[in-house]
Structure 1
Amino acid sequence: MAKNDPLIKPIRPKSPLEKFVRKYIVNKYFVTVFSFLVWMVFFDSTSFLVINELNSEINKYQEQLAYYQSEYRKNDEFYRRLMNNKDEKEKYARENYFMKKPNEEIFILVVDSSKVKKQP
């Protein structure tokens, strides 16, 4: 055997990085698990990104639900107060629908907004 034979490669010691790469990264189980995780996080229909987006949408709808429930409670209280009190009903009709009694007149005053001084 000749020393300068091109078919014979010299044996060199492996570096710690090369050992790590051969032992873990090229390992078929590691590649399989890593591929599975990448698929589940980014590409699957139930991926982490989709679930996160759906959770934020759920939170938004829960906030809307809480708002509408509080508005419902306020309107329900107002309706009950209005239906149980004749004076309250009359006041509401006069203020919002300009209703009047048969023997009275209503004057609606309109202010010209161009002539009103604006306060700083």
Structure 2
Amino acid sequence: MEDLIKEIKPKSPAVKFLQKYVITKYFVTIFLFLVWMIFFDSTSFLVVNELNGEINKYEDQLAYYQSEYQKNDDFYKKLMNNKEEKEKYARENYFMKKPNEEIFILVVDSTKAVKKE
């Protein structure tokens, strides 16, 4: 073991220069570049992350609206192809009635409603 320690030569001036100036310059340059790209650039990591969040939000909204459109389209097709469905919808939502028929609308008073606990 002692033979190995004796055989190690002291560092040459060129190696010391590389360690002291060149390598640290590269590390400082790379560090500054990364800091610039993460925080200050117009396409920084923070901006890209925020934009990806907005894209995900809008994709979720798109999926929701497409499903709502599909439900409404199915309901419309069912309503237009079936006379009984049209009549049922008109009676329930627009309170339409047949001649010589009376409609009673029951309203629940929410102030007197008893909550179950």
Q: C-alpha separation between the residues in 2 aligned to 1:63 and 1:72?
A: 14
- Cα distance 1:103–1:48, how it changes in 2: closer, same or farther (>3 A)? same
SS at match of 1:88: helix
Identity %: 76
Whether 2:82 is the aligned partner of 1:68: answer: no
The structure whose Rg is larger is 1
Q: Give per-residue Cα distances to partners, 1:35-89, cap 9 Å, x unaligned.
A: 2221111100001111111111111111111111111111111111011101001
- 1:83 corresponding residue in structure 2: 80
Structure 2 length-normalised TM: 0.73
Structure 1 length-normalised TM: 0.71
Q: C-alpha separation between the residues in 2 aligned to 1:105 and 1:36?
A: 79
Give 1:21 shift.
Answer: 6.5
- Cα distance 1:34–1:82, how it changes in 2: closer, same or farther (>3 A)? same
Counterpart selection for 1:22 from 7, 15, 20: 20
Give 1:119 shift.
Answer: 3.6
- Cα distance 1:33–1:88, how it changes in 2: closer, same or farther (>3 A)? same
Gapped regions of structure 2 (runs ≥ 5)? 1-15
Give 1:30 shift.
Answer: 3.2
- 29-38 or 50-59, which deviates more: 29-38
Counterpart selection for 2:56 from 56, 59, 66: 59
Q: RMSD value over aligned CA atoms?
A: 2.4
Counterpart selection for 2:92 from 86, 92, 95: 95
Give 1:117 shift.
Answer: 4.3
